[in-house]
Amino acid sequence: MKWQLANRASTDAVRLADRHYNRQKPGTPQFVPPGRCLVFTTSDGLAVWTTSWPLAEYVKHRWAGAWVNSIFRNEGPHLSSGLIREAVAATLWHWPNVPELGMITFVDADRVRPKPTPGWCFLKAGFHPAGKTKGGLLAFQMFPSDMPDADAPIGSQAILL
């Protein structure tokens, strides 16, 4: 496991988010949509991941109720597909009740580095093409049956009952 828990105002996470194409207001102290979220950074501070879990009634896309990977940026040496699987595993550790629609992520093919297959690292991690949004973003979905086993992020504590 390379991820550790962070928060929506973590300086390492904000720094990386400021360089991500979907950042709406670079320089602001928080970068995560409102609502339930998990933020992970790698211990070297070179990658960030956020899983959001918006309330379905506030979602405008067809995957309402799914977990949403709202940002993933990897500037480090780790294989992106491996980081993605570990982030999903850490999300499962924190939220063991997976939504029926699993997890969704969106890729703007016009804003990522040109490559033959935009979203390739998500495909290698076990996501499946799920169509496009009304705005033309590519959607990739990981179904619960494709998710790795839950795994605790670095430095987390087990929940004692």
b/e code 107-136 from CB counts within 10 Å (16+ = b): beeeeeeeeeebbebbeebbbeebeebeee
User: What's the alpha-carbon Rg for the chain, to the nearest Å?
Assistant: 15
Q: CA 28, CA 19: separation in Å to the nearest integer?
A: 12
Q: What is the mean pLDDT of residues 73-81?
A: 93
Domain ranges for the chain: 3-146
Instruction: With CA atoms as reference, report the closest residue to 72 among 95, 105, 30.
Output: 105
DSSP 3-state assignment of 69? strand
Q: CA 112, CA 109: separation in Å to the nearest integer?
A: 6
Enter the pTM of the model.
Answer: 0.87
User: Which stretch of 23-32, 43-52, 67-76 has the lowest confidence by average pLDDT?
Assistant: 23-32
More confident residue, 135 or 10: 135
Tokens of 75: 């500037």
What pLDDT score was predicted for residue 7?
A: 84
Q: What is the mean pLDDT of residues 92-113?
A: 89
Tokens of 52: 């959001």
Strand pairing report for 47-53 and 67-74: antiparallel
The CATH code of the domain at 3-146 is: 3.40.630.30
In the block, tokens 């980081």 appear at: 83
DSSP 3-state assignment of 32? coil
Burial class (CB in 10 A: 0-12, 13-18, 19+), 45: middle
Instruction: With CA atoms as reference, report the closest residue to 104 among 64, 148, 135.
Output: 64
